[in-house]
Chain A
Amino acid sequence: MAPSLSFALWTPLALPVLFALLSLTVPSPRLRRLGPIASSLAVLASGVILVVAALHDQVPTLGGVLRADALSAYLLTVVGAIGLVSTWGGLGGGGHSQTPARWAGSYDGLISVFLAAMSLAVVADNIGLMWASIEATTITTAFLVGAHRTGKSLEASWKYVILGSVGVAIALLGILLIYAASRATGEATLSWLVLSQPGLPLDPALVRAGGALAVLGFATKAGLAPMHSWLPDAHSQAPAPVSGLMSGVLLAVALYAILRVQTITDAVIGPDFLRAMLSVAGLLSLFVAAALLIRQRDFKRMLAYSSIEHMGLMAIGAAVGAAALPAVLLYMLGHGLVKATLFVVSGRILEVEGTPTIANVRALLVRRPGLAIPWLVAMAALVGFPPFSIFFSEVGIILAGWSAGMGVVVGIALVLLLVIFASLTRLTVALTIGSPHDALDHTPPILPKQVTPRATAPGDESDADREATVLSRREAEAGIDGAGVVNGVAHVADGGSGPEPFPMTSNIRVAAPFPDTVAVTVVDVVVAPDRSTHGPLLPLVLALATCAVVPFIANPVGVLLVRAAAVLGGAH
């Protein structure tokens, strides 16, 4: 291998920043939208190059500050892959259509900066630098969470910034205590490489306090209970691609920070202290997710609580220690890819249905198979069906926990996982299965509210399409006002082809006054299911396919995971 692979350390930092600047200056919205995708590709490509280097036993370094061992290289690839799925899949609309036009440039620019900050967090050898870049993600995502500029998104972003920055400030306090302890090595340092060496004469009391505070702070960012309360609000209010990025990338990188700190403390005070802390946080997260998923009504919040659940299980994996680490690392990739896919699809559902409430959507499989099928496949992956990698990660963590003598913890975790499995299945069935007229028994259909802002993204759809949209909306309203006269049926035919096919609602509504049997026939005859995927399908297919294939590849994926875990196990 060529020795000059260290260029791959700065490309994931410099190129996204460059694309961010381009996003701010390029006037064409079409080109601007490619900025975040290009940034993701740059990060992914650099990650793959560093992975190749790691597999050839190379550890590229740059200036004593940046360093990519197998773990960093793997995490960089994960960041790039999840970023690619979120940004490419988000092309269809989601955040863009709902952002005011003059904010569109900064929206794309901030996503690129976010990716650069996440890349810096994983390739930084200095814990302080890692801290600064994780804090920088709070800054970049604050405006992304509040992009919709509604009262609710303002509330979500305020809570997010306050809790996020206070949590990360606590982590800084912890890191500074570790820094103070490191004076015992002769020269105070924050280099992870130096600090993670076994047998350093560090003050155990300082390291214990510092490690606890650092893990507590990063756990806030990772969405672990009881510091999780910002997560469901932020994830449900942010534009879909941003939710995907935060859930898949931000949480994983925060957990990565916890793993790095854990390595330092384990070498000084042994694994028991943080094991107890992470087990409690993990179980509490699973419990919170289980309790709040049972009665969940909002599909984006459902995904957010599912993120808390998965982070909780990953924390338990981290508590188990070296034996479970390959599974935890594989989990980060699988969960990120699947969750990014689901958030992208949820953004599309929200856009065409106009409501985040599960009860108001319903029967998606019959009405919009183009959205329901990716959703169902990704949900199957999320709740842990094989062949998707989440299944293997969960089994791996539970088995490793069992053999490490943490039978009680993984036993409780299994019970909570079953509750969560049942809740998620029930909610998904409510969202997708059923016939359209079922919706009548529960709630009156609601006209899409968030469709109008689509018009603010010029070039998104042709004028003719927009005309048709306005027309069908008017007709739909007429159908409701017209007290059950079947005048909404006329335009249903274009529902299958047009990009804005929501006449279904008016049709159902019109059918309401008839007896059920009649309603069924009307629906069966008239409804042409909407097969459009409302955005690029390829990133979703790639994400799910990767998630399904990766666990079966022993070389190089398995080798890489073992080496990355060995970095944390103290084996240098």
Chain B
Amino acid sequence: MFETTYPQLIGLCTGTLLLTSALMVWRHSMLASIRLLAVQGLALAALVAVIGVQKGELEVILVAVLVLLVKGLGLPWVLAHESKATTRTDEAPRLNPTASLLTVALLTILAYVVSSRVLARDTSVSAHAAPIGLAMVLIGFLLLVTRRQARSQLIGFLVLDNGIATVAFLTSGGVPLVLELGISLDVLLVVMILYVFAGRMHNKFGNTDIDQLRKLHD
């Protein structure tokens, strides 16, 4: 029973991951991005759980719970909490929605082309879905480069990180629990630090526009 639904579940989870990433590029409101990020975290946790059940490994299921707590609930809650505390400014990205969605499509194709070379030997179901993770990494980059607000850059960083986690789980069934803990903790701390800096930026300049960070140059 599970063997037949397994490829479908993998497809469903990775499809949700890719869809949420693309929607994040499309939507400019901070709150919408945070909700999408929460959905993405849930999809990632579900993906890990599916892999864990298929392999029958308890450790992977524990990692799924950890991912659910950190990426599905913790980080979105922190982000939403902080966003309400300060004034919300909507994003005015460097690319218009049409151009950015087109870029997303191109990046996804690129991810498939690259993966077909790198993962040529691996014929498992999960390895076939691995290009999605790479596409998410590239979309995260796109968000980082095109967004002007400090906090939206942070969203880009998190999409990038989710993409790396997706690649990890799809290519090797996940990393050992201890390492996953270390990685999650690092990501959590980086996000908090960036939030503190964004808050300081808000206090100092009155907004969090990255474009004003141009004093240091040669």
Interface residues of A (CB under 8 A from B): 126, 128-129, 132, 135-136, 138-139, 142-143, 146, 149, 151-152, 154-159, 161-162, 165-166, 169, 172-173, 176-177, 179-180, 183, 188, 190, 203, 205-206, 209, 232-233, 236-237, 292, 295-296, 301
Indicate if the CB atoms of A177 and B205 lie closer than 8 Å.
Answer: no
Provide the residues of chain A in CB contact with B118, threshold 8 Å.
177, 205-206, 209
Provide the residues of chain A in CB contact with B194, threshold 8 Å.
158, 161-162
B119 at the interface (CB under 8 A from A): yes
A189 nearest in chain B by CB position: B176
In the assembled complex, the Cα of A139 lies from the Cα of B183 at a distance in Å of 12
In the assembled complex, the Cα of A139 lies from the Cα of B187 at a distance in Å of 10
Provide the residues of chain B in CB contact with A188, threshold 8 Å.
172-173
Q: A129-B179, A205-B118 are in contact. List 13 more A-B contacts (CB 8 A).
A: A128-B176, A146-B200, A152-B215, A154-B213, A155-B214, A161-B193, A161-B194, A162-B153, A166-B141, A176-B164, A180-B171, A206-B121, A295-B218
Contact of B190 among A139, A180, A301 (CB under 8 A): A139
In the assembled complex, the Cα of A149 lies from the Cα of B216 at a distance in Å of 15
Indicate if the CB atoms of B157 and A165 lie closer than 8 Å.
Answer: yes
Indicate if the CB atoms of B172 and A161 lie closer than 8 Å.
Answer: no
Provide the residues of chain B in CB contact with A161, threshold 8 Å.
190, 193-194, 197
Provide the residues of chain A in CB contact with B117, threshold 8 Å.
205
In the assembled complex, the Cα of A252 lies from the Cα of B67 at a distance in Å of 33
In the assembled complex, the Cα of A183 lies from the Cα of B183 at a distance in Å of 21
Contact of A173 among B157, B167, B173 (CB under 8 A): B167
A405–chain B nearest beta-carbon distance, Å: 29
Provide the residues of chain A in CB contact with B164, threshold 8 Å.
169, 172-173, 176
Indicate if the CB atoms of B197 and A179 lie closer than 8 Å.
Answer: no
Indicate if the CB atoms of A143 and B216 lie closer than 8 Å.
Answer: no
Provide the residues of chain A in CB contact with B213, threshold 8 Å.
154-155, 158-159
Interface residues of B (CB under 8 A from A): 114, 117-122, 137, 141, 144, 150, 153, 157, 160-161, 164, 167-168, 171-173, 175-176, 179, 182-183, 186, 189-190, 193-194, 197, 200-201, 204-205, 210, 213-216, 218
Known: A142-B193, A157-B197, A162-B194. A233 touches B121 (CB 8 A): no
Interface centre among B120, B153, B189 (most CB of A within 10 A): B189
Provide the residues of chain A in CB contact with B201, threshold 8 Å.
154, 158
Indicate if the CB atoms of B186 and A136 lie closer than 8 Å.
Answer: yes
Known: A149-B200, A180-B172. A143 touches B193 (CB 8 A): yes
Indicate if the CB atoms of A155 and B172 lie closer than 8 Å.
Answer: no
Interface centre among A129, A169, A190, A292 (most CB of B within 10 A): A169
Contact of A237 among B114, B167, B216 (CB under 8 A): B216
In the assembled complex, the Cα of A162 lies from the Cα of B205 at a distance in Å of 19
In the assembled complex, the Cα of A142 lies from the Cα of B190 at a distance in Å of 9
Contact of B175 among A162, A179, A292 (CB under 8 A): A179
Contact of B172 among A135, A149, A179, A292 (CB under 8 A): A179
In the assembled complex, the Cα of A75 lies from the Cα of B12 at a distance in Å of 47
In the assembled complex, the Cα of A526 lies from the Cα of B141 at a distance in Å of 61
A179 nearest in chain B by CB position: B172
Known: A157-B197, A166-B144, A188-B172. A232 touches B186 (CB 8 A): no
Provide the residues of chain A in CB contact with B157, threshold 8 Å.
162, 165-166, 169
Indicate if the CB atoms of A177 and B171 lie closer than 8 Å.
Answer: yes
B164 nearest in chain A by CB position: A173
Kindly list the 7 A-B residue pairs having the minimum CB-CB distance in the complex, ordered from nearest: A132-B182, A180-B171, A180-B172, A155-B213, A128-B179, A176-B168, A233-B216
Q: What are 30 A-to-B residue pairs whose CB atoms are below 8 Å?
A: A128-B175, A128-B176, A132-B182, A139-B190, A139-B193, A146-B200, A151-B204, A151-B205, A154-B201, A154-B213, A155-B216, A158-B197, A158-B201, A161-B197, A165-B157, A166-B157, A166-B160, A169-B160, A173-B137, A173-B164, A176-B168, A176-B171, A176-B172, A205-B117, A205-B120, A206-B119, A206-B121, A209-B118, A233-B216, A295-B218
Indicate if the CB atoms of B179 and A132 lie closer than 8 Å.
Answer: yes
In the assembled complex, the Cα of A319 lies from the Cα of B18 at a distance in Å of 38
Indicate if the CB atoms of B172 and A169 lie closer than 8 Å.
Answer: no
Provide the residues of chain B in CB contact with A138, threshold 8 Å.
190
Contact of B179 among A149, A157, A190, A203 (CB under 8 A): A190
Provide the residues of chain A in CB contact with B190, threshold 8 Å.
135, 138-139, 161, 165
In the assembled complex, the Cα of A161 lies from the Cα of B218 at a distance in Å of 20
B57–chain A nearest beta-carbon distance, Å: 12
Provide the residues of chain B in CB contact with A232, threshold 8 Å.
216, 218
Indicate if the CB atoms of A292 and B218 lie closer than 8 Å.
Answer: yes
Provide the residues of chain B in CB contact with A183, threshold 8 Å.
172
Indicate if the CB atoms of A154 and B200 lie closer than 8 Å.
Answer: yes
B197–chain A nearest beta-carbon distance, Å: 5
In the assembled complex, the Cα of A165 lies from the Cα of B188 at a distance in Å of 12
Indicate if the CB atoms of B183 and A296 lie closer than 8 Å.
Answer: no
